[in-house]
Amino acid sequence: MLCTASLWSFSAIAQDPCTSIPMPSGQNAAEVSGTAPGHGREDDPGIQCYSLAVSRGQPVHVRLMGGENVAITIPDVGDARDEFEFVAKQDRYELHVFQLFPGGGDEAFRIEVRTGGARPGR
């Protein structure tokens, strides 16, 4: 039984399509930047996916700092926003980044992620 659980865990990790957001050791903030394709979120290639490992009960702040036509969805937290503030109820969250109104060209974005009590800079 333990062997099966280990194999399942490895399989789930191997299939994770999201890019991990690294939080530097001893730090509570990280920045992610990328490009949201003009496809929009109805098309899987139009969604950039990032994963964030957190501790349950930890405050989490996510803020879009660049990208006029870009939005973030965090499943089980909120849809199509530019900012989130919540207390973690699980160990891992996905951030789906996409163009809100597709059809134009690709658009660069920048996201600030903070864990702990500090709010993202304004």
Unique residue bearing structure tokens 């503030």: 85
Percent of the chain clearing pLDDT 70 (strictly above): 77
Amino acid at 72: I
Q: Does residue 6 sit within a domain?
A: no
Instruction: Convert the pLDDT of each residue in 58-80 to its tens digit.
Output: 999 999 999 999 999 999 999 99
| Pairwise CA distance, residues 119 & 55, whole Å | 17
Q: What is the mean pLDDT of the chain?
A: 82
Range of the domain at 103: 18-115
Q: Does residue 65 sit within a domain?
A: yes
Residues 82, 9 contacting (CB under 8 angstroms): no
3-state class of 89 per DSSP? coil
We report the CATH number of the domain holding residue 36 as 2.60.120.380
Q: Does residue 4 sit within a domain?
A: no
Say how many domains are in the chain: 1
Q: Does residue 122 sit within a domain?
A: no
Q: Does residue 66 sit within a domain?
A: yes
Instruction: Convert the pLDDT of each residue in 23-34 to its tens digit.
Output: 888 889 999 999
